[in-house]
Chains A and B, each alone.
Chain A
Amino acid sequence: RKEVEQDPGPFNVPEGATVAFNCTYSNSASQSFFWYRQDCRKEPKLLMSVYSSGNEDGRFTAQLNRASQYISLLIRDSKLSDSATYLCVVNTNAGKSTFGDGTTLTVKP
């Protein structure tokens, strides 16, 4: 079993739709959590951190459930420019980042 598992996708949604991605992690000692975005043939870039209380950044909402070892990302009013692969990332206390395989989102006109 992989340390970090994500919805396999792909997700194909129309503009304006709301879409949610899920991620589970197996290491209960994990300390911090992130969502990264990766565009085709580009490097991953940080989208947002994920806090225990949940957090929003514009149209993006991230949530963490430590008891269930589960992270989610919600995108509201999706735009064409949101099309990308979204990577769930989990850090251990040793500072090691483990990436999920990513979920691909395509937003269509």
Chain B
Amino acid sequence: DAGVIQSPRHEVTEMGQEVTLRCKPISGHDYLFWYRQTMMRGLELLIYFNNNVPIDDSGMPEDRFSAKMPNASFSTLKIQPSEPRDSAVYFCASSTTGLPNEKLFFGSGTQLSVL
């Protein structure tokens, strides 16, 4: 299996621009998670989906952030407009069941820099 695939690996943009991050989960995994990692705040859960339906988006920082999962093999995280404080590594992860004892498989992440 190819694992969780994220694109792009690096994104540099200017403040005010729209940014779209993409994720392809492992085939057969029903749960998809978006995390953000910074030095100051560590790894934070932004939102997660079960069977393409958003379950918990309480971690989404503000209305500038939105996430979609139009089908089982694709999800996007969009930031519009982007701000310098959005600079971070964004990870996508997937799991098979979402049960408490289920481990997460992470993608390689997208390093976002907003200038």
Contact = CB atoms under 8 A, between A and B. Distances in A.
Chain B contact residues: helix, strand, loop or mixed: strand
Nearest to B33: A97
B54 interface: no
B42 A101 contact: yes
Contacts, number: 53
A23 interface: no
B34 interface: no
A99 B107 CA distance: 16
B49 to A, nearest CB: 11
A87 B43 contact: yes
Given A97-B33, A98-B45, A43 B108 contact: yes
B99 interface: yes
A44 B106 contact: yes
Contacts of B98: 95
Contact of A31 (B42, B97, B101): B101
Contacts of B103: 34, 46, 49
Given A43-B109, A97-B45, A32 B104 contact: no
A18 interface: no
Contacts of B95: 95
Interface residues of B, number: 24
A94 B42 CA distance: 21
Interface residues of A, number: 23
B102 A95 contact: yes
Nearest to B101: A32
A1 interface: no
A93 interface: yes
B56 interface: yes
Contacts of B44: 99
A26 interface: no
A99 B42 CA distance: 8
A50 to B, nearest CB: 10
A109 B61 CA distance: 43
Nearest to B35: A99
A43 B42 contact: no
Contact of A43 (B33, B45, B55, B107): B107
